[in-house]
Chain A
């Protein structure tokens, strides 16, 4: 069952165009969203969060259009990125105390559990956190309101191999609990370990939207890894 549907999303910038982007996320699966820097991954994710004004197209979660059910949908989804830090000079406790008042499903027990698991100190400020800890803090916020869909923009960028592995294991555990994950990355080796499906975007266009196995079968050569397939496809686009 598809829990998220992105249909014909277009967005034109002076130097870049997102062209009829369509794909879906299967419930309880991890979908790897791959593409090189500037391919349109973040723009697509922003359109999925209503952070940008698209020219056309529609994004639906749980069968509901985002344009009409924004508040309701945002109660049920979570977003995490390693590239932005919110309120860098406030303590995590201050940020969480306010954030939780917006969520009907905030689970204090889950919050405490993940905080211990991630090793996050509530008295620290985001400015004092490493890139990896920032990702974990964002994930902590998403997981504590029991998000059914997690949209993760480059969540493993800047993480050491051990933390990356730890996060990938966590994603697999969340998947086993029915959480749907969109995992945008250019570190394709991470997806080898955990992705069920692959959405491949290049130059603002979706080039593939299928299971990881089908992607490797359709686009790869025998014995090629996901990373090797991705690199070869990108080189083909350039040549």
Chain B
């Protein structure tokens, strides 16, 4: 597994995948739909799939002494690593906003989504959707990625829009909690997001391995 991940990181990956993790700091932007940070991180991962295709990476990997399904595993491991690196930075910055900056007027007078555990849950859900739609879609052919990526963009921005709008609906204000308000509910939503991330990624991985076994390289 180490060799697989090392190959993905050092041979297949685009430098943009690493650079775009820094979009996680959008978590600190006031008056901005902060979930867009997720989109930019996934755009970085997309760049790696693009450069891997140009480098004939899939066929090269399939020729290595690994099982065909391990080619798929390598791509998922790499993507998850980038995604969780982004989530880690977002979580640290969310904690900063929940503690040191919890009374900051610049965040309090913000009509858009606040950085809180619900935001992190949505972040994980969006990464799960990326894994399901884009990576899963890519492995149907192992070369076509435009369709899956466009589908993902549409779904992702719909979800961002819904997540931004939800706390304006009467009764759902708790979604936009500041500091440690509604902490139980917030943590539940984070756990739900994490669960969805695991579920969608697992579903996608299993489907991708089956598809990849059937396709011709």
Contact = CB atoms under 8 A, between A and B. Distances in A.
A52 B175 CA distance: 50
A84 B59 contact: yes
A178 to B, nearest CB: 20
Contacts of A94: 10-11
Interface in B24-76: 54-57, 59-60, 62-68
Interface stretch (B81-89, B143-151, B182-190, B209-217): B209-217
Interface residues of B, number: 23
B168 interface: no
Contacts of A52: 216-217
A53 B11 CA distance: 26
B63 A49 contact: yes
B67 A86 contact: no
A85 B56 contact: yes
A99 B56 CA distance: 14
Interface stretch (A56-64, A71-79, A214-222): A71-79
A50 B216 contact: no
24 contacts: A49-B62, A49-B63, A50-B62, A51-B216, A52-B217, A70-B68, A71-B65, A71-B67, A72-B65, A74-B64, A85-B56, A86-B56, A86-B57, A86-B60, A87-B55, A87-B57, A90-B11, A90-B55, A94-B11, A95-B11, A98-B11, A102-B3, A102-B7, A102-B66
A53 B65 contact: no
Contacts of A50: 62, 68
A143 to B, nearest CB: 15
Nearest to A51: B217
B55 A86 contact: yes
Interface in A33-63: 46, 49-53
A72 B65 CA distance: 7
A71 B62 CA distance: 10
A53 B214 contact: yes
B10 A79 contact: no
Given A53-B214, A99-B64, 20 more contacts: A46-B217, A49-B63, A52-B217, A53-B213, A70-B67, A70-B68, A71-B65, A72-B65, A74-B64, A74-B65, A84-B59, A86-B55, A87-B57, A87-B60, A97-B10, A98-B7, A98-B10, A98-B11, A102-B7, A102-B66
B6 interface: yes
Nearest to B51: A89
Contact of A102 (B54, B56, B65): B65
Contacts of A51: 59, 62-63, 216-217
Interface of B: 3, 6-7, 10-11, 54-57, 59-60, 62-68, 213-217
Contacts of B68: 50, 70
Nearest to A73: B65
Nearest to A90: B11
Cβ-closest 7 pairs across A and B: A74-B65, A52-B216, A51-B217, A75-B65, A101-B3, A87-B55, A86-B60
Given A101-B6, A102-B65, A84 B56 contact: yes
Interface string A94-137: 11011101110000000000000000000000000000000000
Contact of A71 (B10, B54, B66): B66
Q: Which of B55, B66, B213 has the most CB of A within 10 A?
A: B55
Contacts of B213: 53
Q: Which of A53, A87, A103 has the most CB of B within 10 A?
A: A87
Contacts of A90: 11, 55
Contact of B55 (A72, A89, A102, A103): A89
Nearest to B54: A88
